[in-house]
Amino acid sequence: MNWKVNNYQTWNYKKLNKNNSKYSAGILPYTYNVDGKCLFLLGKDNEGDWSDFGGKAEYKDFNEPQKTACREFYEETLGVVLDYDDCYQKVNNGNPIKIISKTLNGSPYYMYLLYIEHHNHTDHFNKTSNFLKYLRYNNRIFEKSSIRWFTIDTLLNCIDNKQSGGPISLRGVFHKTIELSKEQIILLNN
């Protein structure tokens, strides 16, 4: 699958992706407000469901879930929260919580709970999104229509209410992932 050329590692991307990278990965950012309450940054997709920031592996990820997670986070937040390199540094050296779940098709899903500083990322996201739309960028780059901080109580309420009657609508695979990791999420608030 790989070979050496001039002592450098070179990858056969097509074989790598077809054979080994049937996984998805994402990032669920969290922070604390001035009262010490845990908050989670979620993105709203075009169907109106909220979730973390994640997606499928691509060739350029070298079959590394951390790279997939950071790339997806960078793309879906339009780069306004963290740039790719800072995100990758935090994931690899910041000791984030890694949760392993399954996608709807049964492939592994790696979600990294990543601490970030509390800022009003919603305004930056909206301004960047509006500017890119003004420039008539391809609509495919807009995977999220909004981003927003939610309290841990809101997230736990969504888990406990199994989506029906919850305060916000969560994407199915995200709901399943956080439901499986409820105890780890609760520990962040202590």
2 part of a folded domain? no
3-state secondary structure of 150: strand
Q: What is the pLDDT of residues 30-41, one digit of tens each?
A: 999 999 999 999
Residue 186 has a pLDDT of 93
Q: What percent of the chain has pLDDT over 70?
A: 86
| Total domain count, the chain | 1
> Does 8 map to a domain?
no
66 within 8 A of 25, measured Cβ to Cβ: yes
Per-residue confidence (pLDDT) for residue 104, from 0 to 100: 87
133 falls within a domain:
yes
Domain presence at residue 127? yes
Residue 10 lies in a domain: no
Q: Are the beta carbons of 175 and 159 closer than 8 angstroms?
A: yes
Asked if residue 4 belongs to a domain, the reply is: no
Domain of residue 174: give its range. 21-187
Categorize the per-residue pLDDT at 164 as very low, low, confident or very high, splitting at 50, 70 and 90: low
Residue 13 lies in a domain: no
Q: Would you state the pLDDT for residue 135? A: 87
What are the backbone dihedrals phi and psi of residue 185, each rounded to the nearest 5 degrees, phi first? -70, -40
Q: How far is CA 57 from CA 24, 75, 78, 117, in A?
A: 6, 13, 18, 27
In a domain, 140, yes or no: yes
Residue 162: which pLDDT band, with cuts at 50, 70 and 90? low
| pLDDT band, very low/low/confident/very high, at 20 (cuts 50, 70, 90) | low
Q: Is the pLDDT of residue 14 over 50?
A: no
Question: How long is the chain?
Answer: 190
**What CATH number is attached to the domain comprising 156?**
3.90.79.10
166 pLDDT higher than 80: no
